[in-house]
Amino acid sequence: MVMWFVVLAPVLVAEVFQSPRVDYRLVALGAVAPSILAFVGAPPLMHTLLAPVAVLTVVMLTTIGRRLIRRRLLGIPIGMFVHLILDASWSTTSLFWWPVFGIEFEELRVLETAPLIVPLAFELVALALIWPLAKRYGLTTPENRRLLATTGHLQRQFLS
């Protein structure tokens, strides 16, 4: 599953924070990273609460005194947090809270590992939302699409 996270994570962040200066490209990247790593067979560490907290800590510590870089990079852990919501990682207690309940990973039971029809349905929902969301955020104009593609930002008037 890729589109589910790439489409919905930036939308949720835009609706919650209503900030034109968030790099929504990095939010999408942070949101899809756990799925990509799960697909290539990496341990499910990215589906735990520990992963985005660790990435957030690294971003905060490495960007002390560099506010603009920090603002941009914060999109990655924010996207990772949103991923945990969108794929229901929170519903598997031992995975979400790892390593609090033991250091062994159980079988990864999230949307990406559900029977094929489930992720396919979520992908189709995300694809169906692209055009209405593009209109909602003004991405029907070339200037706004260029702004999003080059800076990751959205126009302020579309965020309220």
Convert the pLDDT of each residue in 2-43 to its tens digit: 999 999 999 999 999 999 999 999 999 999 999 888 777 777
Look up the domain containing 34 and give its range.
Answer: 3-158
Tally: H helices and E strands in the chain:
8, 0
Express each pLDDT in 38-92 by its tens digit: 777 777 888 899 999 999 999 999 999 999 999 999 999 999 999 999 998 888 8
- As a whole number of angstroms, the longest Cα–Cα distance in the chain is 51
Q: Is residue 139 classed exposed, middle or buried when 0-12, 13-18 and 19+ CB atoms within 10 A define those classes?
A: buried
Closest CA to 31 of 62, 75, 91: 75
